[in-house]
Chains A and B, each alone.
With several copies, the nearest count.
Chain A
Amino acid sequence: MTYQVKLDAFEGPLDLLLHLINRLEIDIYDIPMAELTGQYIEHLQAMRVLQLDELSEYLVLAATLIEIKSKMLLPVHEGEVFEDDYNLEVENDPRDELVARLIEYRKYKEAAISLKGSAEERSGHFTKPPEDLTEFGEIVAVETEESMNIFDLIGAFQKMLDRKRLKAPLTASISKTEVSLSEKMDEIMEILERGGGKCAFHSLFEKWETTELVVTFLSLLELMKRRDVIVEQHGNFDEMTVSFRREDE
């Protein structure tokens, strides 16, 4: 049976084994070792693409499977069994340890799926960045216990990046739809028109939004490049003025 598997879809040998058990509709509590071992090794052969160190982990389990299989093939010689060992012999199925491992692993695999679900649900609830409290007064420097560690630091940083992710695109998407470079250039020309051909440099930058400031500035540079406007400053700290470029210049 040829079965195309994308092997990197497996998280490890136990994962592969669980997959096989499911596909072959095997009862996990009564694994036919010969069949499973055969299938497992067949898959390993297709796995040559894997890196060596990854492969080694798969090989370790292959060895375990073969060991279990051979133990099960060994005939139980009645004579060699001590009477009081009888119960032990029954309980000591060579597969027990493997089954226990698989079941334990499967528990966490399921838990991982449920965790993923809760993360998705949580991501549907958005919140807001903390308000800037400076308008309420000076923030008192608070002495905190110095029990913080590097992991608190990482947590704080991650949280901030999240917040940024939430905030930046929001303002960007709004300004993107509202101000393009060419629109802004037209707007600047209009302002100049209204101001009798000139205006103060800073008056163009009264909007507070970063992206809009940038667009305004880039528009201005573009207008200067096209020689539509000129920016002048007389003294070192004088107000700069933007004006139409005169024809005779």
Chain B
Amino acid sequence: MEKEDRLPGMIESFLFIVGDEGLTIKQLTTLTECEESEVALAIDWLRGNYEKRNESGIELKVFGGAYRLVTKAEFAEDIKRLLENPAPKSMTQASLEVLAIIAYRQPVTRVEIDDLRGVKSEGPVSTLIAKGLIMEKGRSEGSGRAILYGTTDLFLDRFGLESLDGLPPLSQEEEGEPIETDLFMTKFQEAFAIENDGGGNIS
């Protein structure tokens, strides 16, 4: 009984120590020497508690299967202000497209990616590897034994996904114009308008 009382605090202290590494529920189970169900309960309790204390600056999130303590989104601006450094350059549209194809279709070869996009994707693929977002996941059965690509755990973390199941479903084509398309087109046009006004690069 006493052990259980200590469990949330113990988990909290572990998560604090490991910081951005996070811990999986399996690791937490080993570390706390408790049952997985108890750990899951304690995590839920902790998570709920952070949410309740709305004056709190941190909260508990799970990305890529690893639980971690992170600062609340509402303080993002304050933190960015204090960091003073330019945010890491956002990815190019090309890299994002390639990443989306790999995320949803993995494992996938580069030829398939090229075909889908109608352009060569060599550059974006190596950029994504260098960023640690995708990796080789074996070779295809075919004669060419082409490299199959898939996403990494870092991808899940960077994109705030619990697991690959957390990817939003691809838009289903319906008869009539899907709303998402309009939204996308509007966004695209906005980008375009900016482009035309400012004359800068979209990248």
* A and B touching (Cβ–Cβ under 8 A): yes
Residues of A within 8 A of B (CB): 4, 6, 8-9, 11-15, 19, 22, 53-54, 57, 61, 101, 103-116, 118-134, 136-142, 144, 146, 148-174, 177-178, 201, 210-211, 213-214, 217-218, 221, 231, 233, 235-238, 240
Of the candidates B27, B80, B159, the one whose C-beta lies within 8 Å of that of A136 is B80
12 contacts between A and B (CB under 8 A): A12-B118, A107-B170, A110-B180, A150-B168, A156-B93, A159-B20, A168-B85, A210-B115, A210-B185, A214-B188, A231-B199, A240-B202
Question: Which of the candidate stretches B3-11, B32-40, B41-49, B66-74 sits at the interface with the other chain?
Answer: B66-74
Q: How far is the CB of A28 from chain B (nearest CB, A)?
A: 9
> Does B104 sit within 8 A of A, measured CB to CB?
yes
Q: Is the CB of A124 within 8 A of B200?
A: no
Q: How far is the CB of B91 from chain A (nearest CB, A)?
A: 5
Q: Is the CB of A148 within 8 A of B83?
A: no
Q: How far is the CB of A109 from chain B (nearest CB, A)?
A: 6
Q: Which of chain B's residues have a CB closer than 8 A to the CB of A134?
A: 120, 122-123
Q: How many residues of B contact A (CB 8 A)?
A: 91
Q: Is the CB of B152 within 8 A of A136?
A: no
In Å, the complex CA distance between A107 and B196 comes to 26
Q: With CB as the reference atom, state the residue of chain A lying closest to B167.
A: A150
Given contacts A121-B73, A131-B71, 19 further A-B contacts (CB under 8 A): A22-B185, A53-B120, A110-B184, A116-B90, A118-B159, A119-B90, A121-B160, A126-B70, A127-B68, A142-B88, A149-B136, A150-B167, A153-B99, A155-B152, A157-B170, A160-B117, A161-B174, A170-B83, A237-B201
Q: Which of chain A's residues have a CB closer than 8 A to the CB of B91?
A: 116, 119, 139, 142, 144
Q: Which of chain A's residues have a CB closer than 8 A to the CB of B26?
A: 178
Q: Is the CB of A146 within 8 A of B83?
A: no
In Å, the complex CA distance between A115 and B103 comes to 10
Of the candidates A13, A53, A126, A151, the one whose C-beta lies within 8 Å of that of B132 is A151
A interface SS class: helix
Instruction: Pick the most buried of B90, B92, B103, B119: most chain A CB atoms within 10 A of its CB.
Output: B119
How would residues 102 to 117 of chain B score, 1 for a CB under 8 Å from any chain A CB and 0 otherwise? 0110000000000111
Q: With CB as the reference atom, state the residue of chain A lying closest to B16.
A: A128
Of the candidates B17, B31, B115, B132, the one whose C-beta lies within 8 Å of that of A166 is B17
Q: Which of chain A's residues have a CB closer than 8 A to the CB of B21?
A: 130, 171
Q: Is the CB of A126 within 8 A of B82?
A: no
Q: Is the CB of B82 within 8 A of A173?
A: yes
Instruction: Pick the most buried of B116, B129, B201, B202: most chain A CB atoms within 10 A of its CB.
Output: B116
In Å, the complex CA distance between A120 and B93 comes to 14
In Å, the complex CA distance between A166 and B123 comes to 23
Q: How far is the CB of A223 from chain B (nearest CB, A)?
A: 13
Of the candidates A120, A150, A177, the one whose C-beta lies within 8 Å of that of B30 is A177
Q: Which of chain B's residues have a CB closer than 8 A to the CB of A114?
A: 168
Q: Is the CB of A218 within 8 A of B191?
A: yes
Q: With CB as the reference atom, state the residue of chain A lying closest to B185.
A: A22
- Given A110-B171, A130-B18, A139-B123: A14 and B118 interface contact (C-beta under 8 Å): yes
Q: Which of chain A's residues have a CB closer than 8 A to the CB of B90?
A: 116, 119-120, 130
Q: Is the CB of B96 within 8 A of A158?
A: no
Q: Is the CB of A153 within 8 A of B70?
A: no
Q: Is the CB of A112 within 8 A of B99?
A: yes
Q: How far is the CB of A55 from chain B (nearest CB, A)?
A: 11
Q: Which of chain A's residues have a CB closer than 8 A to the CB of B99?
A: 112, 115, 153, 156
Q: Is the CB of B69 within 8 A of A157?
A: no
In Å, the complex CA distance between A160 and B19 comes to 12
The 5 closest A-B pairs by CB, nearest first: A122-B160, A12-B119, A151-B135, A156-B96, A124-B76
Q: Is the CB of A163 within 8 A of B87?
A: no
In Å, the complex CA distance between A118 and B16 comes to 23
In Å, the complex CA distance between A210 and B180 comes to 11
Q: Which of chain A's residues have a CB closer than 8 A to the CB of B17?
A: 126-128, 130-131, 133, 166, 170
In Å, the complex CA distance between A6 and B203 comes to 12
- Given A161-B174, A166-B83, A170-B82: A108 and B97 interface contact (C-beta under 8 Å): yes
Q: Which of chain B's residues have a CB closer than 8 A to the CB of A6?
A: 195-196, 202
